[in-house]
Structure 1
Amino acid sequence: MAEANPEIIKKQFIIVKSLVINEKKQVLFVRRNKAELKQAHNKWEFPGGKIDFGETPEQTAVREAKEESGYDIEIVSLLPKLLSSKWVTPERESQQILICYICKLLGGKSNLNDHGVSEIKWFNLSEAPKDEDCLPGTVDFLNIYINSLKK
């Protein structure tokens, strides 16, 4: 096993995602605009981000959905699984612990005001982006949600 480089910064983050469903049963995706992080650039995912200090995961879900999409949401439930992903660059290793809430659309309108997002789109469940087009955990969370509908 290769020895770890002590110069590399290692960080862990808790990331909260919002799987938002509209009245047509479509799911909201945002496309990441992160040219500086090649693995994430132009990838689809649910609105979400890091928990700010003093914020609850629920507050993060609502805030991030509004910031990244312009939509107001309400949390319905927590998906019953946590996921983890790891990003490695020459300068840093980071591990994300991913939490995902099922949310319903309350209102608002699509607004591309977040520099980290290049596109906002509603997809029918059967036409949602595939794993290779998404950030880690996105399709896993979507499949957990779809399977919960079958019960």
Structure 2
Amino acid sequence: MTTVIAAIIMQDDKVLIAQRAEGQKLAGKWEFPGGKIEEGETPEECLKREIKEELNLDIEVGEFFGENVYPYEAGPIRLVAYKARLLGGQCRLRVHSRVAWVKLHDLADYDFAPADIPFVDKLRGMC
């Protein structure tokens, strides 16, 4: 099973979400940014690296947010999310077509990847 680490990057009353670009798996779907953990890497190291590689942003990783397993057709993934805080950087998109800062109660307006939906529900419950 592939383990993917996601960042719940909060700023004020909004969360950062990203839309998968054309040519990517799940193109057009929204997600909490992150990526696959590499061997010997901690979840925190993975998130810092992936957010820097994919979005050119620097983050501070905070507390564990949640975890779920989703049985995608290509194989199950274990998605683990951590809260994070934006430290800086100029956003540059590499595997996404767009990013958006979204109020928690507006998350339902976006078409999320199935594995991310439990995190959407948890965030909306915090409104």
Q: Which amino acid aligns with 2:116?
A: T
- CA, structure 1 residues 127+101, in 2 after alignment: closer, same or farther (shift >3 Å)? same
Aligned to 2:112: 134
Kindly name which structure, 1 or 2, has the bigger radius of gyration based on alpha carbons.
Answer: 1
- CA, structure 1 residues 66+25, in 2 after alignment: closer, same or farther (shift >3 Å)? farther
Q: Percent identity?
A: 30
> 2: CA distance between counterparts of 1:123 and 1:103?
15
Aligned to 1:117: 96
Q: Which amino acid aligns with 1:118?
A: S
Confirm or deny: 8 A CA contact 2:22 2:97 kept in the other structure.
Answer: no
Structure 1: unaligned runs, 5 residues or longer: 1-11
- Kindly report the root-mean-square deviation, in angstroms, between the aligned alpha carbons of the 2 structures: 1.9
Q: How far apart are residue 129 of structure 1 and its match?
A: 4.7
Match status 1:16 vs 2:22? no
Aligned to 2:70: 85
Q: TM-score, normalised by structure 2?
A: 0.87
Q: Any idea what the Cα deviations from partners look like across 1:12-63, whole Å, max 9, x if unmatched? A: 20010001012x32111111125363xx111000111110122111111111
User: Secondary structure in 1 aligned to 2:114?
Assistant: coil
1:1-151 superposed matches below 5 A: 12-22=1-11, 24-35=12-23, 37=25, 40-79=26-65, 81-88=66-73, 93-112=74-93, 114=94, 116-130=95-109, 133-147=111-125, 149=126
Confirm or deny: 8 A CA contact 1:69 1:120 kept in the other structure.
Answer: no
Structure (1/2) with the larger strand percentage: 2
